[in-house]
Amino acid sequence: MLTLLEGPDVRWRKSTRSKDANTCVEIACNVSAGVGLRDSTDPHGPKLLLDRGAFGALLGAIRSGAHDL
């Protein structure tokens, strides 16, 4: 299933708020099975694939401060 997160058609992006920082999470939203997540410092490393509902829930939790350090 993770092969869905590879290839020339998968477009990874990171937040414009990250500026020049390399310690960011990148997302790929153009994956048919959901949303891909990867570490921008290790683009060839492990990737996560979340369905759109789970990704929405994660964003909601982040925005609410549930994952603040």
pLDDT of residue 11: 92
Mean pLDDT of the region 34-61: 92
pLDDT of residue 51: 93
**CA 38, CA 15: separation in Å to the nearest integer?**
13
Q: What is the pLDDT of residues 16-42, one digit of tens each?
A: 777 666 678 899 998 888 999 999 889
**CA 2, CA 6: separation in Å to the nearest integer?**
7
Is the pTM of the predicted complex or chain greater than 0.85?
no
